[in-house]
Structure formats: C-alpha cells, structure tokens
Chain A
C-alpha cells in the first residue's frame, strides 16, 4: 500500500539582521517582487483569512496608518492564503461597508510559498491560515523586526508605527530606544564596551561635558535628540 506523504511544513523563522527571504508574488496590485521595494522600508504583514472579523478591523487599522507610513518612506504589503479574487472582493466589501479604501497591495499566497519562507504558518494554531505576523524590512532588504500575534488578537497599529520610528531613529542617530519610547523621548547612547570607556563615562569630566544627558550609570545614559 502506498501512502501519500504530506508536504513538510517549514517551521523555521527568518532571522533578524539577515536578508529577508526573496519572493515574487501575485498581489491585488499586480505581480511584485521583494526587490521592487528596495530603497523603501517595508512592513509585510499576514492575516489569517479574508472576510473574517478581526482581520477586517486590522485592515481598517492598517489603512489608517498608511499615510503615516508613507511619510516615513515605508510601504505596506499584506498577505493571506486566499486567492486574488477573494482579496479583491473583500477589499471592495470593506470599502462598501465601512468607507475605508485599502490603498496597499495584498499578496494572494495560495501556494503558501511566501508564508512558508517567512514562517507565517503555525500548524499548532491553524493548518490552513497564516498567523498575524509583521515583518519590518529596511531599504537594503534586511529583516529588522518581527512581531507574531495569535489568531484571536488584533494587532496594535500604534506599536507598528512606533517600531518603524524606533528603527529609523536608531539607524539615523546610532542610538537605541528604551522601553515605551515614543518619538521625542530621550534615546540611549551606545554602552561603553571597554573598561577604559566605562570609566570615562562615569567620570565627572564626562558629566560636565555632556549637559542634558540623563545618566543612571556608565551603562545607561540617555540623551535628547536635536529636533
């Protein structure tokens, strides 16, 4: 008796700091490749299925931050394991029922190639739907951040904007951002990585020369960024 083997489900996740998995995919705005977004930041997100309630609220939310993302040179790209015709019908239905136009493309990942490459499928949750994932990819195509939410929990759009802001501020200023950081808050300057630099950071001389710095200790010093 022959048995039909199920296709292996890739459980691996992409890694931060490495090139985001390349793809070419059919979307509601034509066939796009990851490289088409080169030079812009990209927020790639997946949703479990079209015509479902939590996803609908999320799409309205993503449409709500679309302009703010554009101001941050950031494109949005959705994905689910649905056909492009289902996507089109759903996007038209959202606009018809709520008045919200969805301005960004949505990948129709029927063969699950993109979902598999990005580790969006969580068989423990669902064997047919992608989880609620967010990937922030920088202008060089490097994966910089990932967020994974379960099927039951809609994402926080403010946090996605905050994450993009934090990454862009960190890159531009060579700093890090503390917990609950918001644009305009103080940022963390790089921690000294030698005994000598740690001693300098602790010295009265450093404190005198760096008025406006908020230093808890040699390893935790914050400063304001120029407006």
Chain B
C-alpha cells in the first residue's frame, strides 16, 4: 500500500494527502498541493477512504478528523 503500511502507519505521501484534505478538495487539487501524480492521488485516496481516514462528498474528499494525522 502506498499511503498506509500493513501496521497502519501512514507514509509520507499519505500524511501529505491528509494535510491537503483538511479542507474538502478534488483529486486534482490534492495532486497540485502534494505534487504527486494524479494516478497516485487516486490510488492513495482509495486507501485512505477504505481506512476511514477520508470521506468522499461528491467529487470532493476531506479528512475525517485531526486524529487521522
């Protein structure tokens, strides 16, 4: 997993995405802030949503809480 390791630890890219998602943002906006390729943002968002660290509202994503950092 790119954003979350098997023991639940966030990678640097996972942490950067959560910081970018303190406010609702689109995939493209997250890619712009984190400077990650869009495909990695999409892949990472799937992981973060599956882990309950991010929620999706329409086309925007947002971190579910400060505890996620």
Decide if A and B are genuine partners.
yes
Closest A residue, CB atoms, query B39: A36
**Is B6 part of the binding interface, using a Cβ–Cβ cutoff of 8 Å?**
no
**Does B44 have its Cβ within 8 Å of any Cβ on chain A?**
yes
B3 within 8 A of A: yes
Give 1 or 0 for each of B14-46: 1 = CB within 8 Å of chain A CB: 000000000000000000000001111011101
Contact of A29 among B2, B38, B46 (CB under 8 A): B2
**Contact residues of A between 9 and 52, Cβ < 8 Å to B:** 29-33, 35-37, 39-40
Chain B nearest Cβ from A114, distance in angstroms: 15
Query: In the complex, which residues of chain A have a beta carbon less than 8 angstroms from the beta carbon of B46?
Result: 31
Chain A interface, number of residues (Cβ within 8 angstroms): 11
Say whether, besides A30-B47, A75-B37, A36 and B42 are in contact (CB < 8 Å): yes
Whether A30 contacts B37 by the Cβ 8 Å rule is no
Q: Shortest distance in angstroms between A66's beta carbon and chain B's nearest beta carbon?
A: 11
9 A-B Cβ contacts within 8 A? A29-B2, A30-B2, A30-B3, A31-B47, A35-B42, A36-B40, A36-B43, A40-B39, A75-B39
Chain A residues with CB under 8 Å of chain B are 29-33, 35-37, 39-40, 75
Task: Apart from A29-B43, A31-B2, A32-B43, list 12 A-B contacts with CB within 8 A.
Answer: A29-B2, A29-B40, A30-B47, A31-B46, A31-B47, A32-B39, A33-B42, A33-B43, A35-B42, A36-B38, A36-B39, A39-B38
